[in-house]
Amino acid sequence: KQEVTQIPAALSVPEGENLVLNCSFTDSAIYNLQWFRQDPGKGLTSLLLIQSSQREQTSGRLNASLDKSSGRSTLYIAASQPGDSATYLCACYGGSQGNLIFGKGTKLSVKP
Amino acid sequence: EADIYQTPRYLVIGTGKKITLECSQTMGHDKMYWYQQDPGMELHLIHYSYGVNSTEKGDLSSESTVSRIRTEHFPLTLESARPSHTSQYLCASSETRTRGTDTQYFGPGTRLTVL
């Protein structure tokens, strides 16, 4: 059974810092791994999708890496801004029907 | 920008009432999903659909039911609401694409409180 774990659960950094969010998964037989952003009281916004054959994806200040063999992914945020404050969720395919399995997320706070 | 809508955004209702949470998308996506999320916890899939007249139960057992009569519409119904149903319900949709390349687009969610 696929399990997704995110560390840390919460993170507070000053504006301008580079930071790394971690995600680990137990079953390496994944089709892809996705990172989402969730703002308070709102739905999820897809940030990056890494296919199982890829090692990383980049979008602006965000870079996500994938290491299937070790069951790990990282989301790197460069030059953090207060607008980056949100909960970041990692998800990959698993479960009995092969649907997305989510981690609990990392709540990021970027202080001005 | 994804176009997926949920109504109502917030609902406070008494025990025993029947409720329907609406979800609609204008992207023509075949696949649609309902997730349940408690505060600080992960999303759990409760229902999904591969297309019209297709509905399946997700990984988390739920007393709710769904229907898919039209491609764009995927409502969720609770016949008799209970306090244990208090949660946030998120609807999502995705295209039918090569497995591994499809991403899900989420609605804003409905926060349900059952008194």
> A23 CA to chain B: closest CA distance, Å?
13
**Is A79 exposed, middle or buried (CB count within 10 Å of its CB: 0-12, 13-18, 19+)?**
exposed
Average pLDDT, integer, range B6-16? 96
Could you tell me the pLDDT band of residue B18, with boundaries at 50, 70 and 90?
A: very high
Low-confidence ranges of chain A (pLDDT < 70): 94-98
Query: B62-88: per-residue pLDDT in tens?
Result: 889 999 999 999 999 999 999 999 999
d(C-alpha A21, C-alpha B49), whole Å: 32
**How many C-beta atoms surround the C-beta of residue B77 within 10 A?**
12
pLDDT value of residue A99: 81
Paired tokens of A18: 């580079």
Pick A100's closest partner by Cβ from B99, B104, B107.
B104
Reduced to 3 states (helix: H, G, I; strand: E, B; else coil), residue B108 is coil
B26: pLDDT strictly greater than 90: yes
pLDDT value of residue B101: 66
Reduced to 3 states (helix: H, G, I; strand: E, B; else coil), residue A83 is helix
| Interchain CB distance below 8 Å, A43 and B108 | yes
